[in-house]
């Protein structure tokens, strides 16, 4: 199932703005800023794209739990939904950066959503980050809402990977051996991909 999803992948700025318009003028303003950022970043080196998109969403979204934002225990928001609320939790930051970077032309094979255990103030918390692999098997760079800088994984000893996924596969930890089809295994991801495609990001 994952193969055909990728074959259809195509960022469509006009559709993004159209979907934003259906959500009202405040969302159009945010979507226009995102489309402009994607256009500017699309001509940059990949490392600059990472920094640009990471900064864009870290600046525009306030961290809020899903219970506060959506009145639900767990909700995976599309980039436009997050921009409409101007808020999100860790999954929402990672999702927005994933599809924002894909729209700039970064291959999704280089990007993975990573569930981690994060050590924060003496506690171990479930958390999600976005990882970027310049080459298969390379040390990933981590994009995170807890830290503003894009850092190599070796400089994030506070994070322990549990599993990772993208639109192409699902892996234990951050390994190379696939553990299945994420669209089949992760219903929240499947629902999100459908929303994101309708908004023009895929």
Q: What is the DSSP string of the chain?
A: -HHHHHHT----HHHHHHHHHTT-HHHHHHHHHHHHHHHHHTTS-HHHHHHHHHHHHHHH-EE--HHHHTSSS-----HHHHHHHTEE-HHHHHHHHHHHHHHHT--GGGEEEEEEEEEETTEEEEEEEEEE-SSTTSPPEEE-SSSSS-EEGGG-TTEEEEEEE-SS-EEETT-SSB---HHHH-HHHHHHHHHHHHHT--
Asked if residue 202 has pLDDT above 60, the reply is yes
What's residue 160's pLDDT?
Answer: 95
Asked if residue 13 has pLDDT above 80, the reply is yes
Residues 6 or more apart whose Cβ sits within 8 Å of residue 4: none
Range with lowest mean pLDDT among 130-134, 144-148, 183-187: 183-187
Q: 96 with 88: CB under 8 angstroms?
A: yes
Give the tens place of pLDDT for each residue, 42-93: 999 999 999 999 999 999 999 999 999 999 999 999 999 999 999 999 999 9
Q: Strand 111-120 to strand 87-88: parallel, antiparallel, or no bridges (unpaired)?
A: unpaired
Distance CA 73, CA 141 (A): 29
Predicted TM-score (pTM) of this structure? 0.90
Query: Domain limits of the chain?
Result: 2-199
Place of tokens 């089949």: 184
What's residue 1's pLDDT?
Answer: 34
Distance CA 39, CA 37 (A): 5
What's residue 12's pLDDT?
Answer: 96
Asked if residue 2 has pLDDT above 80, the reply is no
Asked if residue 184 has pLDDT above 80, the reply is no
What's residue 6's pLDDT?
Answer: 39
Give the tens place of pLDDT for each residue, 136-181: 889 999 999 999 999 999 999 999 999 999 988 888 765 555 555 5
Classify domain 2-199 at the CATH topology level.
Answer: C8orf32 fold (3.10.620)
Q: How many other CB atoms sit within 10 Å of the CB of residue 195? A: 18
Average pLDDT over residues 5-30: 85
Place of tokens 């003496």: 122
Distance CA 133, CA 91 (A): 19
Average pLDDT over residues 24-41: 96
Residues 6 or more apart whose Cβ sits within 8 Å of residue 107: none
What's residue 17's pLDDT?
Answer: 97
Give the tens place of pLDDT for each residue, 94-114: 999 999 999 999 999 999 999
What's residue 39's pLDDT?
Answer: 96
What's residue 183's pLDDT?
Answer: 55
Q: Which two tokens stand for residue 82?
A: 């997050």
Q: How many residues does the chain have?
A: 202
């Amino acid at each position: 199932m994952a193969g055909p999803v990728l074959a259809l992948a195509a960022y469509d700025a006009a559709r993004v703005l159209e979907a934003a318009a259906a959500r009202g003028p405040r969302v159009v303003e945010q979507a226009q800023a995102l489309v402009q950022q994607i256009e500017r970043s699309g001509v940059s080196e990949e490392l600059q794209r990472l920094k640009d998109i990471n900064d864009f969403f870290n600046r525009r979204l306030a961290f809020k739990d899903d219970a506060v934002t959506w009145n639900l225990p767990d909700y995976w928001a599309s980039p436009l939904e997050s921009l409409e609320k101007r808020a999100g939790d860790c999954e929402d930051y990672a999702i927005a950066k994933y599809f924002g970077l894909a729209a700039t032309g970064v291959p999704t094979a280089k990007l993975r959503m990573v569930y981690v255990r994060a050590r924060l103030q003496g506690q171990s918390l479930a958390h999600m980050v976005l990882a970027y692999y310049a080459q298969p098997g390379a040390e990933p760079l981590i994009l995170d809402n807890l830290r503003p800088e894009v850092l190599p994984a070796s400089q994030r000893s506070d994070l322990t990977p549990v599993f990772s996924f993208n639109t192409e596969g699902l892996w234990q930890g951050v390994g190379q051996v696939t553990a299945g089809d994420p669209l089949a295994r992760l219903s929240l991801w499947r629902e999100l991909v459908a929303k994101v495609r309708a908004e023009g990001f895929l």
